[in-house]
Amino acid sequence: MKRASVLFLAIITLIGLVFGGFLISSPNKTTNPADFLYRAGSPVKGSGNASVKISIFSDYLCSYCKDAHTIINDVFSNNGRDVAIYYRNLIVHENSKIFAQAALASNKQGKFAQFDNILFEREIEPTEEAVINIAKEIGLNIDTFKSDLNSEETKSIMIQDEEDAISLQVRGTPTIFLNDQQIEDFRTLPNLIKNMI
């Protein structure tokens, strides 16, 4: 009888531990992903009124992000009127931080798309001098660019990107959300959008 009671208590304890762990580790289902995906200050390509919204967390030194960038550019070229793309940073490679800051600084002057393309399409040293040279090449106001590059506003956007990535349980790059839902494979994006438009 005593052995049966100990066994019963052990089973109840195990069930309690498993269920308690599940409750602690489960994401909050009441959280709306849209609260974390479309932030003011984030670079956006397309209209905020578009029927399809894509939000991408990426890192400029991530090779998979480069592949995703190509696909997203094609998606926008083919569906620009119906698609809005929100660009978010998730620094995985510490050296990419200067690129993220530079892209945000270029966004302040309306040249994000050009800057973003150059960062993904060329081999560039992750230095302030290199990004300033890109800014000169695409015709940015250099004094303004330098000021925005290390401004509190730029740093604040990057911190917000990281906090939002944590809230959304983003664990790597690229991570893409399509109309608030995370997609598993960015290569499926063109077909998914074709079925939505």
Cα–Cα dist 37/59, whole Å: 16
CATH of the domain at 153: 3.40.30.10
Q: Would the pLDDT of 3 be above 90?
A: no
In a domain, 24, yes or no: no
In a domain, 49, yes or no: yes
How many Cα atoms within 13 Å fall on the side-chain side of residue 167?
14
Q: How many domains does the chain have?
A: 1
In a domain, 170, yes or no: yes
In a domain, 144, yes or no: yes
Q: What does the pLDDT average to over 108-123?
A: 98
Place of tokens 């959280």: 31
In a domain, 187, yes or no: yes
Q: What does the pLDDT average to over 4-16?
A: 52
CB 53 within 8 A of CB 193: no
In a domain, 97, yes or no: yes
Confidence at residue 30, expressed as pLDDT on a 0 to 100 scale: 52
In a domain, 41, yes or no: yes
- Closest-CA residue to 159 (of 95, 89, 112, 108): 89
Confidence at residue 177, expressed as pLDDT on a 0 to 100 scale: 98
- On average, the pLDDT of the chain sits at 89
Query: Higher pLDDT residue, 5 or 134?
Result: 134
Question: Distance between alpha carbon 167 and the CA centroid of its chain, in Å?
Answer: 12
Confidence at residue 23, expressed as pLDDT on a 0 to 100 scale: 39
Q: Which domain holds residue 107?
A: 34-196
- pTM, two decimals, is 0.83
- Residues 14-50: tens digit of each pLDDT: 554 444 444 344 444 457 999 999 998 899 999 988 9
Q: What does the pLDDT average to over 98-116?
A: 98
The share of the chain scoring above pLDDT 70, in percent, equals 85
Q: Would the pLDDT of 105 be above 90?
A: yes
In a domain, 10, yes or no: no
Q: Which residues of 93-127 are buried (b: 16+ CB within 10 A; e: fewer)?
A: eeebbbbbbbbbbbbbbebbbebbebbbeeebebe
Q: What does the pLDDT average to over 162-188?
A: 97
